[in-house]
Structure 1
Amino acid sequence: MDNDKRLVWTVEEVAERLGIGLSTAYEVVNAGTIRARQINRKWLIPKAALSEYLDGRDNPARVLSMDEVAEALGVHRNTVSAMLNEGTIRAVRAGRTWKIPLTALEEYLAGRDNPPAKEETYEE
């Protein structure tokens, strides 16, 4: 039983509770997959936010796998991999897998996430 009266956990505590590495925990927090607040230089995760994440009640921050994005776009998985490596679609690498926020895919499809194409200049 958790006798801790605090309302928040640190990233280190969350990583320990989830059995994941610290760098993976920071990636998840930075991606917005788990709600967190940064106070000065310290990230704090509300206990309720972790419960919501584990229960699947955190859908605003829903993330997709590379295969789900490939299916949604109707392209091959390798195409999605290339897009992620180029930064065409915003994503976070969590361990060996990519996590693509649903909002990032929506931004890409709406054209809001695309940087303008570089203009080519020709010298005569």
Structure 2
Amino acid sequence: MIDPAMLRAGRLDKKFYLSPPDFEARKAMFEMYLKNRPLDFGMDYDQLSKFTENYVSADIEFLVNEASRLALKTKARISMKILEEIIKNTKPSVPLQELKKYEIIKAKMDGENIEQKNERTRIGFNTNRNNN
């Protein structure tokens, strides 16, 4: 969380927005993090990448570490089944709603005119004038 006052001109010289990794980047991360680990046959990196949309790189590293711990505990190799179970039980560290906020901040920093739309209407106010 960054105080909006910190985003004013002259406060931070450079601002960077790193979006969550795309499909190919997530796939490469799984390949990199699993490279020197004891793996079972049948690793499907495309499937792992598909299962982890909106996960950041730290999340993917955590998933691999957790899978390693579980495999070690059960004296097995890291398998797709273990990874799928870990992914199923681990949510992304940055919620989707928070990612959308970051995208709005990025758009503002890039000078884009973004109108924030409230997904809920306020109680007592009819925003659709055609429905009486």
Same-fold status (TM-score > 0.5): no
> Which structure shows the higher strand fraction?
1
Larger radius of gyration: 2
Q: Give the TM-score normalised by structure 1.
A: 0.30
RCO comparison, higher one (Cα < 8 Å, 6+):
2
